[in-house]
Amino acid sequence: MNCHIFAGILALCLLITFPSDALTIYSTGFENSEGFPVGSLPITGLNGWIEEVGNGLSAIVTSQKHTGTQSLRVAANSTVKKDIVSAGSLIYLDGWYNPPSSSVFPDLDGYPASSAVFMFHTTSGLIGLDGDGAGNGAWQESHILASLGFNRITLLLDYSNKIWSLYLNEQMIFQNMGFKNNSVSQLNGIRIDSAQNQSGYLDTFQVLDEPPDFLLQDPTPTITETLLPTPTVTQTPVPSPTLTPTGVPASEVLEWKLFR
């Protein structure tokens, strides 16, 4: 299954703790209380989520969920999209996805300009495109398979430096990969393509301008033993990747091809 960030995978409402000054650009858990009743997505869409391609089977369901009682099903052989606009130069997409997998590498011909491109492959595991900025690039194979059920996917999009990084279940898999198209200058939405014979399920999804909880590693307090003459033990967190935005103007279409 593919997810695109187009004039925007999914990048993903999460039940996580964020700093008080963090900006949540968009979040949803696909719950009824948020305006997502159970049933097929209407032709005109539901809260902006539209089945762009498919047979009308993409829906809000209760059969699969990460938190709450519902999730979004992207039906087999379907494409679901949602416009989400942000001119920020560094964006985080974070959420939980129960992905299908495909034995076919995607053909990039005909796809619109994109930033991050990745998918779950049957034998190669999670694969990502190290883009050349001109519409192509080299596929990198992690040979790391998704866990059964929902997996946490966290995507960093650095529009200033035209690079992206991805974490699967809080473990970095791809770091500083090139954009497929350097013409992409801002987030405008998300598009998810399912596999031909499998549905995918998205839950607890949000877009942020600051890192999710597991990337915010506070210094560990100094621990001092007083009963025995032992030295002070200080633990220092491992630094997460540094991405420095430089304020590239946002104007062009971005597509994130997440799953296939």
Residue 52: domain span: 2-213
Mean pLDDT computed over 180-186: 94
> For residue 251, is pLDDT > 90?
no
pLDDT band at 53 (very low <50, low <70, confident <90, very high): very high
What are φ and ψ of residue 127, in 5° steps? -120, 150
Within the chain, what is the greatest distance between any pair of CA atoms?
71
Domain harbouring 66, CATH code: 2.60.120.200
242 belongs to a structural domain: no
pLDDT band at 195 (very low <50, low <70, confident <90, very high): confident
253 belongs to a structural domain: no
How is residue 183 annotated by DSSP?
T
244 belongs to a structural domain: no
Q: How far apart are CA 84 and CA 259, in angstroms?
A: 18
The total number of structural domains in the chain stands at 1
For all residues of the chain together, what is the average pLDDT? 79
Please answer whether residues 28 and 36 qualify as being in contact, where contact means their C-beta atoms are separated by less than 8 angstroms. yes
250 belongs to a structural domain: no
- Of all residues in the chain, the percent with pLDDT exceeding 90 is 62
103 belongs to a structural domain: yes
Mean pLDDT computed over 104-125: 87
Residue 164 burial (C-beta neighbours within 10 Å; 0-12, 13-18, 19+): buried
The reported pLDDT for the residue numbered 126 is 95
The number of CA neighbours under 13 Å toward the Cβ of 109 is 1
Mean pLDDT computed over 131-144: 95
Mean pLDDT computed over 133-147: 94
Global pTM? 0.76
Strand residue runs (E) in the chain: 2-4, 24-28, 39-40, 50-53, 59-61, 71-74, 79-86, 90-98, 118-121, 125-131, 137-141, 151-158, 163-168, 171-178, 187-193, 200-208
The reported pLDDT for the residue numbered 205 is 98
254 belongs to a structural domain: no
> For residue 248, is pLDDT > 80?
no
What is the number of H-type helices and E-type strands within the chain? 0, 16
241 belongs to a structural domain: no
The reported pLDDT for the residue numbered 218 is 53
- Of all residues in the chain, the percent with pLDDT exceeding 70 is 75
Please indicate whether residue 31 or residue 188 has the higher confidence score (pLDDT): 31
Cβ neighbours of residue 192 under 8 Å, at least 6 residues apart? 1, 2, 3, 4, 9, 10, 74, 79, 80, 81, 200, 202, 258, 259
The reported pLDDT for the residue numbered 161 is 98
pLDDT band at 79 (very low <50, low <70, confident <90, very high): very high
The reported pLDDT for the residue numbered 2 is 47
183 belongs to a structural domain: yes
Q: End-to-end distance of the chain based on CA atoms, in angstroms?
A: 2
